[in-house]
Structure 1
Amino acid sequence: MRVTQGMMTNHVLRNISNGYSKVSEYNDQLSSGKKITRPSQDPVVATMGISYRTDVSHVNQYQKNVTNAYKWLDSSDDALGQVNDVLNRIRELTNEASTDTYTADQRKAIGTEVDQLTNQLVTLGNTQVGGQYIFSGSDSAKPLLTANSDGSIKIDQTAIDHPDFSVAVNDGIQMAINVNPNQVFTSDLFANLNQLKTDLNNGASGNTISAHLTEIDTHLGEVGTAQADLGAKTNRIDLIQNRLNEQKTVATKIMSNNEDADYAETIINLNTQQNVYNASLSVGAKIIQTSLVDFLR
């Protein structure tokens, strides 16, 4: 096959252009830190990168959910601690009022304090985190407890029927992060306290008042059980958080291996390609310089 000057020139120009493209590609890798800047450069890397980024995005969202879960659990534990303090105070007052040395007026004074402590329990039962009521089960937009004009306490029925507030903490894992509203702030609790106030205000005997101690102890036991349940949930959240941290580390590493450029290798490739490009320019300068004058000589 006859090789013409035009063929040689076209080949040289094509190779120079390809070499320059390679130089530009390695420069892009160094400046961006990525193997590719367009999906067309390597569709496989681009496709796998989408999958890996999705994995990392999922883990990030689960970590946010776990952070929110910690807020609920910590706030619930703090509120239950205060409920425990309030009930212990009510028990102390009840025990004092059950002695025959207390007069009717003194018992009425204790009844007034018990009434205030009951109101404090309502306040604690309506504790909020981020505008959500943490003891209202799935109905977190509404308060769990409402004080009626006659002094009775109304409990939100939706919270009773749907007591769990769950969040996604990992793929396929939904976890209830709240205290069951049927466990602590029960109708029995407020009915017993209301009866205690009535007995204190109506001058009931010491034996009648002391009978309430057993009821209060039962409610204190319910609070203790709820606190133990919260502790178990917190321990599980700790394990889930550790697992998510490990998943994020692995997913980020895989994504980095897939997308990130190896700086040392890229610099070597850039220097090599730069030398090839310079050589092609030198060769091209010798070949393409032939002109019509050269043929007429």
Structure 2
Amino acid sequence: MTSGINANGQRFLLDMKRMQQRGDRAQAQISSTKRLVTASDDPVQLGTMLELKAQLAKSVQGRANLGRFQSEVDTAETSLQQAITYLDKAVTLGSQGASSAAPVDRAALALQVKGLLSQMVGVANTRVEGRYIFSGGMDQKAAYSVNLSSPNGVDATSQFIPGRVVQDPAGNALPTGLTADTVFNASGSDGVFKALNDLRLALESDSATDTQAATVALSSASTYLNQQLAHYGNLQTQIASATAAANKSELAWKTALSGIEDTDMASAAVEVTQNKTAREAAYAAESSRPRTSLFDYLK
């Protein structure tokens, strides 16, 4: 007889403990705003939650990397636009120097072109966050230095190797930034530096004919530089598209995560109230049991 009563009492206490645990869990979910506080709260959804968090973290990091690359691309695009204005100004100076209608101070014009050549080298050596963005894989070294005794008016101060590959948040590789030898085509017939230096030399020699020829070459160099500028315009479009896609994916993952781990406040509040009511009713029922209940043995 005693054994049966003890079994009933123990079962009652165990039921109360379970009810208390459910109530405590619901209260913890309300306090933390998270439905999944421990792995045991929902083992089935745990794996999905961890996978979503991993995807989200990877995308956020990829978007951060993409943001740094975008800063370089935007600066490169702005710098090349400035370089084109330098060439336009040089064409204007060349047109003045090629004129024979009136006396021309070509020596003074040559000094201005020399200044433009120096400014163009400054564009080639543009830096973002300590990196020379036109130096490719050797981005800790400037690309060029002025050397007026060189046929192109400059010397390369860095080896030009491809720059680092940047992936978008989805893992797709984006085109790399261009290196300075490609952008300014230093050794080409329509190279930016050679065209500027040829104009400087023609003006210094006080030759209207040579100045006219150098000015024509400058127009060709300007066309070439505009083609390189288009590369960065395309890159900006790709970066914007990749960023928009990442933002869309991250929003979907965050929404899915919220559905899995966030507390349904209304349901949790009902659970707490119902659990408390059920425990109070159970205690009341237990206290009204016959004297042969477990409570008699506890007196």
Cα distance in 2 for residues equivalent to 1:134 and 1:94: 30
Cα distance in 1 for residues equivalent to 2:297 and 2:247: 68
What is aligned with 2:156? 155
Which blocks of at least 5 consecutive residues in structure 2 are unaligned?
A: none
| CA displacement, residues 79-100 of structure 1 (integer Å, 9 cap, x when unaligned) | 1111011001111101110112
Native 8 Å contact 1:136 1:156 kept in 2: no
Q: How far did residue 117 of structure 1 move?
A: 0.7
Native 8 Å contact 1:72 1:177 kept in 2: no
Native 8 Å contact 1:144 1:156 kept in 2: yes
Q: How far did residue 180 of structure 1 move?
A: 4.2
Alignment of 1:249-264 (within 5 A): 249-264=251-266
Letter of the 2:14 counterpart: R
Q: How far did residue 292 of structure 1 move?
A: 7.9
Identity of paired residues, percent? 19
Cα distance in 2 for residues equivalent to 1:266 and 1:291: 37
Cα distance in 2 for residues equivalent to 1:84 and 1:149: 21
What is aligned with 2:173? 174
SS of 1:167's equivalent? coil
Letter of the 1:244 counterpart: A
Question: CA 1:170–1:156 in structure 2 vs 1: closer, same or farther (change >3 Å)?
Answer: farther
Question: CA 1:199–1:119 in structure 2 vs 1: closer, same or farther (change >3 Å)?
Answer: same
Q: Does 1:197 align with 2:200?
A: yes
Letter of the 1:211 counterpart: A
Alignment of 1:126-275 (within 5 A): 126-148=125-147, 150=149, 152-159=153-160, 161-162=161-162, 164-187=163-186, 188-203=191-206, 205-275=207-277
Letter of the 2:130 counterpart: G
Give the TM-score, by structure 1 length.
Answer: 0.89
What is aligned with 2:76? 76
Which blocks of at least 5 consecutive residues in structure 1 are unaligned?
A: none
- How many residue pairs end up in the alignment? 289
Cα distance in 2 for residues equivalent to 1:123 and 1:153: 11
SS of 2:167's equivalent? strand
Question: CA 1:279–1:269 in structure 2 vs 1: closer, same or farther (change >3 Å)?
Answer: same
What is aligned with 2:5? 5
Letter of the 2:228 counterpart: A
Question: CA 1:148–1:281 in structure 2 vs 1: closer, same or farther (change >3 Å)?
Answer: farther
| CA displacement, residues 4-48 of structure 1 (integer Å, 9 cap, x when unaligned) | 221121111111111111110110111111122112333332222
Native 8 Å contact 2:60 2:169 kept in 1: no
SS of 2:168's equivalent? strand
Give the TM-score, by structure 2 length.
Answer: 0.88
Native 8 Å contact 1:114 1:197 kept in 2: yes
The more displaced of 130-139 and 22-31 is 130-139
